[in-house]
Amino acid sequence: MMTETVDLSLYAKPESAGTLGMDVAVEGIACGACIARIEGAVKSLPGVTDARVNYTNRRLHVAWRESEFEPSQILRTLQDNGYRGHPFVAQRAEQEEAAEARRLTRCLAVAGFAAMNIMLLSVSVWSGNVTDITPETRDFFHWASALIALPGAAYAGRPFFSSAWQALRARTLNMNVPISLGVILALTMSVVETANHAENAYYDSAIMLLFFLLVGRTLDHAMRRRTRAVAGNLAALRADTAHRFAGDELVNVPAAALKAGDRVLVRPGERVPADGDVINGASEIDDSLITGETARRKVAAGAKVYAGSLNYSGALTMRVTAAGGASLLDDIERLLEKAASAKSRTRRLADRAAAIYAPVVHLTAALTLVGWWLYGATLHDAVITAIAVLIITCPCALALAIPAVQVVASGALFKRGVILNSGDAIERLAEVDTVIFDKTGTLTLPEPRVVNAANIDPAVAQVAARLALSSRHPLAVALAREALSRAPFDNAVEEPGQGVRALIDGAEARLGSAAFCGVVQPVVAEPGLSHIFFRHGALACSFAISQRLRPDAVQAVQALRNLGLDLRILSGDRAAAVAPVAEALGIPNWIGELNPAQKIAHIDALKAQGRRVLMVGDGLNDAPALAAAHVSLSPISAADVTQAQADAVFLGERLAPVYDSVAIARRARGLMMQNLWLAAIYNAIAVPVAIAGLVTPLIAALAMSGSSVLVTLNALRAANKNSTLAEGDPS
C-alpha cells in the first residue's frame, strides 16, 4: 500500500536564526473573528513561533523553529477550522511594487510635512505683506522656508528627478521633465530672491506641486499593489499538487517543485501538472486548455501530454520533460516571441501629452524672458517672470489628469472582477473597434456542464447529482455541479473505471458507464458531447454533458455589439463545434480549426486595415494571438502562459466583464481627454497672467490646488455605475 505525505519545503524560506517562514493564501477569511481563530489555532501548534493574518491580502504568515515542525500541519489545521490554505511564494513583481509603494509613501509624508509647515510660514508672509511685517521677519520666514523646502524637495522629489533624468538620457521628454525643471527653478529662484530680501518667494508652490503629484502616484500604486496581491492569491489557489514517485512511494509536491525526469502519477479527474511523456497506463485526455479542441484524445504509453490537460478515464504514469509548462509546443513559443517583438509600442496618452506640452511651455518661458528683456526690463525681472511662467504652467493638473482617472477606473474594474496586468491597458481598451473571441473556455464555460437538464425530472436529477458527488470522474464532477445539496450519500461506493453505486430509498442507484448501469449505449453522433448514465431501481436516464455558453454570453455579446464593435470568433476547435455557438450568439464572422499561426495571420490582416483588435482567449494556443492583438483579456481559468500575455484577467463565470472593461475604459478615456482639456483651459487663463508678470505666490498656490482638485473630482466620475452591464444572475 502506498502512503502519501505532502512536501512543502519549496515554500519554506529561512528567516531569523533557526526559524523557517511560509506565506499561505487563505480562502474563506470573511470577518474579524476569523483572524483570532486562525492565529489562535496555528500558534497553538508545537514549534510555531509566530502566526499573523494579513486581512487586507487574505494571507497568513507562519514562522516555526526548524526541524521541530512539519509545515503541512498548517494546511491541515486551517482545514479543520473551515479554511482552505494555499502556500505560495510572493512573485518578484509583487515585492518590487510593495517596495516602490513604501518609497512613494515616505516621499509623500516628507512632502506633506514640508508643504504644511511652509504654507504656515507663507500665509504669515502674505498677510504680513499687506499689513505691517518687517523686512527682517520676512527674511527670517523665507530662510526658514528654504531650510524646510530644500531638503524636503531633495528627498520627496527623487521619484520625479530620477525618471526625468532617465528620459533626458534617452533623449526623450516625459511629464517628469517639466515637473523637475519647474521645481528646481522655482527653488533656485526663491533662494536668490530671499538673498535679495525680496517680498515674494515660491517655496510653497514647489513643495505643494510635489505633494499633489505624490498623492496621485501613491494612490495609483496602492491600487496596483492590491490587484497584484489578489492576482498572487489566485495564482496560489490554482497551483496544482502533483503525485511524485519517490522510489515506490508517492509524495504530494507542489507542481512548481517538479523537475525534468521526475515520475508522476496523474489520477482520473486531475490536471496534468507538467509537460511530459506517458510511460504507463491508458486514458483519454481533454486538451481544450491547450488547443481549444473539445473532443478528447486517447493516450497510451509514449504519447506526449501537456501541463493543463485534464485526465479523464484512467490513471497515467508520466515522466516529466519540462516542469511548469516551460516547454511549450515549439511553434507557440516561436510565434510568441515574434508577436511580442512585433508589438508596436503604443505611446501612452500621458507621454503624448507631455511631448506636445513640454516644448510649448519651455518655448513660452523663453519667449517671455526675451520679450521682457527687449521691452526694457532688467535681466533680473525678465528671468523672474519667465520662471513664474514655468511654475504656473507646471503640469500639476496635467500630471494628475490621467493617473487619477486610471486609479478610479482600475478600482471600478477590480470591483467587477477585472484585474489589470498593465497600466496603460485602459487606454488601449478604449480604442478597440474589433473584438475576437476564442470559443472553448472563453465564450463557453471552462468546465463542461449538463446540457439536457430540461428533459429530466428535477427530482431524479438531484439524486443523480448527489450520487455524483462521490466520484472524481470529470463527467460526474460536471453532473455534481447541479447538486443543490452538497451532502454525498454516505454508503456510496466507487467502482474504479465504471461508476458509483449506493443504496437509496431501498433501491440500488448506479451512476457511470452504460454497461455499469445496464443501459443500452445510444449511438453518439456528436463529438464533444458525452453521456453519463443513471439507474435507480427501474428508472433509467442519461445526462448529456458538453461545453456550455457562459450564462450571460448572449446579453454580453449583444451589449458589445451595441457599442458598435465588430465581433468575431476564431477557434481552434472543429467547425461543427463552433457553428452552434456562433449561431446562438449571432456572430456571423467565425472560423474554426485554426492553428495559432493562422489566428495571428487574421489579427495581422485586421491590423493592416487599421483595426484595433481586442483578443479574448484562454487556451495555450491563444497566447500568441493575445500578444499580437492591440489589447487582450483572458478568463482566470486560462493557461498560465496565456494569462501572462493578457493585459487583464477577469474572474467568474460571466462574460459581462468583457463588456464592462470596454465600457469603463471608454468612459475613462473620455474623462482623461476632458481632464487634459481642463488643464489646457487652466493654462490658457493662467499663462497670460504669468507672462504679464502679475503672478504672486498666492495666485500660484490657489491656481495649482484649484486645478488639481478639479481634475481629481472629474476623475471620480469614472466609477459611475451606469456604464456597466446590470448585475443579476441570468442563469
Partner 1 sequence: MNVLIYLLPMALGLGLLGLFGFMWALKSGQYNDVEGAALRVLSDDDLPQK
Residues of this chain that interact with partner 1 (CB under 8 A) are 31-33, 35-36, 40, 53-57, 102, 105-106, 109-110, 113, 116-117, 120, 134, 137, 140, 144, 148
Nearer to partner 1, 58 or 667 (CB): 58
Q: At 572, give phi and psi (nearest 5°).
A: -90, -5
Nearer to partner 1, 145 or 542 (CB): 145
Packing angle, helices 379-393 and 697-715, rounded to 10: 20
In the complex, minimum distance from the CB of residue 121 to partner 1, in angstroms, rounded to a whole number? 8
Calculate Rg over the CA atoms of the chain.
32
CB distance 311 to 270 below 8 Å:
yes
- Residue 490 falls in the annotated catalytic set: no
Nearer to partner 1, 153 or 626 (CB): 153
Catalytic residue from among 23, 438, 618, 647: 438
Nearest partner of 106 among 212, 228, 214, judged by Cα = 214
Distance of alpha carbon 81 from alpha carbon 692, whole angstroms: 72
Concatenating the DSSP letter of every residue in 241-266 gives: EEEEEETTEEEEEEGGG--TT-EEEE
Nearer to partner 1, 56 or 609 (CB): 56
Residue count of the chain, please give it.
731
Nearer to partner 1, 40 or 82 (CB): 40
In the complex, minimum distance from the CB of residue 132 to partner 1, in angstroms, rounded to a whole number? 11
Nearer to partner 1, 153 or 353 (CB): 153
Residue 135 CB-density burial (10 A; 0-12 exposed, 13-18 middle, 19+ buried): exposed
In the complex, minimum distance from the CB of residue 156 to partner 1, in angstroms, rounded to a whole number? 11
Residue 455 CB-density burial (10 A; 0-12 exposed, 13-18 middle, 19+ buried): exposed
In the complex, minimum distance from the CB of residue 342 to partner 1, in angstroms, rounded to a whole number? 41
Chain CA centroid to CA 697, Å: 43
Nearer to partner 1, 59 or 501 (CB): 59
C-alpha cell at 395: 503640469
C-alpha cell at 74: 498548517
Distance of alpha carbon 641 from alpha carbon 506, whole angstroms: 51
In the complex, minimum distance from the CB of residue 129 to partner 1, in angstroms, rounded to a whole number? 15
Nearer to partner 1, 151 or 706 (CB): 151
Nearer to partner 1, 82 or 261 (CB): 82
In the complex, minimum distance from the CB of residue 102 to partner 1, in angstroms, rounded to a whole number? 7
Residues 6+ apart with CB under 8 A from 576: 527, 592
In the complex, minimum distance from the CB of residue 50 to partner 1, in angstroms, rounded to a whole number? 13
Fill in the amino acid letter for 261.
G
Fill in the amino acid letter for 461.
A
Distance of alpha carbon 626 from alpha carbon 599, whole angstroms: 10
Residues 6+ apart with CB under 8 A from 705: 208, 212
Contacts of 253-257 with C-beta under 8 Å, sequence gap 24+, read 253/6, 253/7, 253/10, 254/8, 254/10, 254/11, 254/87, 255/307, 255/323, 255/324, 256/10, 256/323, 256/324, 257/7, 257/9, 257/10
In the complex, minimum distance from the CB of residue 31 to partner 1, in angstroms, rounded to a whole number? 7
Task: Please report where in the chains the cell 528620459 appears, as a residue.
Answer: 167
Q: Which residues of 632-661 are buried (b: 16+ CB within 10 A; e: fewer)?
A: bbbbbbbbebbbebbbbbbbeebbbbbbbb
In the complex, minimum distance from the CB of residue 358 to partner 1, in angstroms, rounded to a whole number? 33
Active-site residue set: 438
